[in-house]
Amino acid sequence: MSIKFTSKLSLVAYITCGDPDLATTREIALAAIDAGANVIELGVPFSDPLADGPVIQRASERALRHGTTLEQVLKLGTELRKKSQAGLIIFSYLNPIIRMGLAKFAAAAGQAGMDGALITDLPVEEAGDYLREMRKRSLATVFLAAPTSPDARLKQIAEASSGFVYAVSRTGVTGARNELPEDAQKLVQRLRKYTKLPIAVGFGISTAEQFAVVGEFAEAAVVGSAIVETIERNPGKEAESVAQFVKKLSVVSHQLSVTQ
């Protein structure tokens, strides 16, 4: 499989799997794809999500209370792949993958029809074994690039990344913000020196207006906390509510495609 960003500004949608339950996660993912999401990040719930703010922390806690595991997330990915050709990325902290084993994880991700993975707390300097296992199976390895990263490290991240590069819009944890920091555009400009891959900007994008701003300088925007919060606020109507939210962003993407 391969990740394709087809519109002027593609949407990468993050979902915490197992919140409120795996069956609902499946409905949410398919609804988001139907509403215009290009890539779904299937979040593996973790007990100590250091990079995440309170919204995704709460979602992880709810999912873990139901016993959601990496194996179940991969099974969910298999089900989604049978229904859709959208991009599917496993989004996880390193611990669950180490517990499964790098080789076993890469093999399972490939068999499930996943496009790749993003391990949020795996430094590129320590990723050699992971890269070897994923590349054996032509799976994308998405790495995070931060505004604080020096150019030498951005080059390293760009060279290790495949599929796309995830540009973190600001320092700190995930969570919706009122404004998009200037750091985001500067970081994308710096990354352009080292890669021709699409660049997706994430952390803090929660409105159609912010989504549109990202379209001025990047190929994709990652929306996570705003989607997870939509799920949290609409019990019993999760998939429908997420679809409505994603459609608002898809309208922006269409407008950008027409005008640019």
**Is 41 designated active site?**
yes
Catalytic residue, candidates 41, 219, 229, 238: 41
**Is 159 designated active site?**
no
- Indicate the pLDDT class of residue 187, thresholds 50, 70 and 90: very high
Per the structure, the complete domain to which residue 249 belongs is given by: 10-141+202-259
* Residue 214, domain member (yes or no): yes
Q: In what order do the strands lie in the sheet with 39-43?
A: 140-142, 116-119, 87-92, 39-43, 10-16, 220-223, 199-202, 165-168, 144-145
pLDDT for position 87: 97
User: Which amino acid, one-letter code, is at 248?
Assistant: K
pLDDT for position 192: 97
- Indicate the pLDDT class of residue 173, thresholds 50, 70 and 90: very low
DSSP 244: H
* Residue 110, domain member (yes or no): yes
Q: What is the mean pLDDT of residues 41-63?
A: 90
- Indicate the pLDDT class of residue 182, thresholds 50, 70 and 90: confident
Q: Which of 25-39, 67-81, 229-243, 245-259 has the lowest mean pLDDT?
A: 245-259
pLDDT in tens, 53-75: 889 999 999 999 999 999 999 99
Q: What is the mean pLDDT of residues 155-159?
A: 97
Q: What is the mean pLDDT of residues 142-166?
A: 96
| Cis omega (within 30 of 0) for bond into 96 | no
Mean residue pLDDT across the chain? 91
* Residue 173, domain member (yes or no): no
* Residue 181, domain member (yes or no): no
DSSP 113: T
Smallest CA-to-CA distance from 221 within 11, 8, 7, 43 is with: 11
Catalytic residue, candidates 52, 133, 219, 229: 52
* Residue 228, domain member (yes or no): yes
Give Cα separations from 114 to 108, 185, 194 (angstroms).
9, 29, 26
Q: What is the mean pLDDT of residues 195-218?
A: 91
Q: Report how far residue 56's alpha carbon sits from residue 49's, in angstroms, rounded to the nearest whole number.
A: 8
Based on the structure, what is the number of domains in the chain? 1
CATH number, domain containing residue 67: 3.20.20.70
Q: What is the mean pLDDT of residues 219-224?
A: 94
Q: Report how far residue 214's alpha carbon sits from residue 231's, in angstroms, rounded to the nearest whole number.
A: 24
Smallest CA-to-CA distance from 63 within 37, 42, 39 is with: 42
Which residues does residue 117 pair with via DSSP β-bridges, in sequence order?
90, 141
pLDDT for position 177: 46
DSSP 125: G
Give the rounded distance of the alpha carbon of 195 from its chain centre. 19
Is pLDDT above 80 for 124? yes
Three-class DSSP category at 204? coil
Is pLDDT above 50 for 176? no
Instruction: Report CA Rg, the chain.
Output: 17
Q: Report how far residue 221's alpha carbon sits from residue 198's, in angstroms, rounded to the nearest whole number.
A: 11
* Residue 1, domain member (yes or no): no
Verdict on whether the full-model pTM lies above 0.85 = yes
Extract the tokens encoding 203: 């952390």
pLDDT for position 175: 42
* Residue 195, domain member (yes or no): no
User: Pick the residue with more confidence: 12 or 208?
Assistant: 12
Give the rounded distance of the alpha carbon of 138 from its chain centre. 18
- Indicate the pLDDT class of residue 257, thresholds 50, 70 and 90: low
